[in-house]
Amino acid sequence: MARPDLWQDPGRAQETLKEEARIRRELETLTQLESEFEEIKLLIHLAEEENDLTEGEALALRLGQVRTQIAEVELARILDPEDNRNAIFTVNAGAGGTDAQDWAEMLLRMYLRWAERRGFKTELLDRTPGEEAGIKSATVAVTGENVYGLMKAEMGVHRLVRLSPFDFNERRHTSFAAVFVYPEVQDEQEIVVEEKDLRVETFRAGGHGGQNVNKVSSAVRIYHLPTGIVVTCQNERSQHQNRIIALRILKSRLLEQKREAEQVEKDKLYQKQKSIAWGSQIRSYILHPYHLVKDHRTDWETSAADKVLDGDLDGLIRDYLLKH
């Protein structure tokens, strides 16, 4: 940062400043944890000498908070440098009709609440509503530290078992929805998309009717011909803005494809995209006849399904990342 030519490349300078801030935060966290731990050890020793049970309970609480912070530091250490990116994720309804579309919206809410809990910023890029309820799909950009590294643990098919609110006979239904996560492109030159490789279509944005339905063809669908990737954006009223956002999503998907190709030891993204139905789920959320959330990749489970659906995902994410 002390180099006089730092700002000759403003983009590189901004990245350098961000990296310096990240390292400074890490050092401050480690220093604070070390200081807190030493203080707790001293206070425990004094409490034992005085046989002070009340002080012991307070110190146990502080020690639990330190454990939580250490777990966060351990998690950050196992992430790759490339994981410190913002992310774009999509939720798609699968098998299950209206129930699946409602389930997709429940997942969307879960991730938005999780991001809010962690202080991440979210931006809804695209949302296609279901015919009766819920959503067919939604795309969201999430901004924050290590967002992609954390959210990649959620990529896969999610299964819900519950009494259907859309079945007059109140029978138990199983629904599926898929989550895909892509790292956001940080540098415009990182992924270059040629205009000749694109086919762009415009159409009217969907909705339930009324005054909010666009009367002009402002929605944009882009086909990337070399890869077959298709992205859609209809959230903005301007066709120009929808095109910009669609290209942003496309570049993120191309970046993820590039990363998968470079890391041959991992399954390629499109090989992992199984049908959004039976036998392909990474996690089950059971709300009837009992409450249980179980990750089939790690066997991590909890009966606190309501808390998980309200965004309490850190335990699931941490367990997956520590084991993979």
Backbone Cα Rg of the chain: 23
Closest CA to 161 of 99, 109, 241: 99
Q: What is the pLDDT of residue 60?
A: 84
pLDDT, mean of residues 145-150: 92
pLDDT tens figures, 174-210: 999 999 999 998 766 678 899 999 999 998 876 544 4
Q: What is the pLDDT of residue 177?
A: 96
pLDDT, mean of residues 297-310: 96
Percent of the residues in the chain that have a pLDDT greater than 70, as a whole number: 90
Closest CA to 227 of 254, 205, 259: 254
pLDDT, mean of residues 112-133: 94
28-32, 245-249, 265-269, 282-286, range with greatest mean pLDDT: 282-286
Whether the pTM exceeds 0.95: the reply is no
CATH code, residues 83-324: 3.30.70.1660
pLDDT, mean of residues 14-28: 87
Q: What is the pLDDT of residue 210?
A: 40
pLDDT, mean of residues 216-221: 85
Residues 6+ apart with CB under 8 A from 116: 122, 311
- pLDDT of 216 above 80: no
pLDDT, mean of residues 266-281: 57
pLDDT, mean of residues 138-156: 94
- pLDDT of 109 above 90: yes
Backbone dihedral region for residue 75 (phi beyond 0: left; psi -120 to 50: alpha; all else: beta) = alpha
Instruction: Output the average pLDDT for the chain.
Output: 87
Q: What is the pLDDT of residue 114?
A: 98
Give domain limits for the chain: 6-78, 83-324
- pLDDT of 212 above 50: no
In the block, residue with structure tokens 């020793």: 45
Q: What is the pLDDT of residue 264?
A: 54
Closest CA to 99 of 136, 50, 140: 136
- pLDDT of 157 above 60: yes
The pLDDT-based confidence of 274 (bands split at 50, 70, 90) is low
Higher pLDDT, 275 or 104: 104
Q: Please give the structure tokens belonging to residue 277.
A: 């139905």
Q: What is the pLDDT of residue 84?
A: 85
Contact 110, 313 (CB under 8 A): yes
Q: What is the pLDDT of residue 265?
A: 45
The pLDDT-based confidence of 275 (bands split at 50, 70, 90) is low
Give the torsion through C-alpha atoms of 71, 74, 80, 84, to 10 deg.
50
Higher pLDDT, 140 or 1: 140
DSSP H helices in the chain: 10-50, 53-78, 97-117, 147-151, 239-262, 269-272, 305-309, 314-323
Q: What is the pLDDT of residue 304?
A: 97
- pLDDT of 146 above 80: yes
Higher pLDDT, 267 or 239: 239
- Put the strands of the sheet holding 198-203 in their side by side order: 198-203, 219-224, 229-233
The pLDDT-based confidence of 58 (bands split at 50, 70, 90) is confident
Paired sense of beta strands 198-203 and 281-286, if any:
unpaired
Q: What is the pLDDT of residue 18?
A: 83
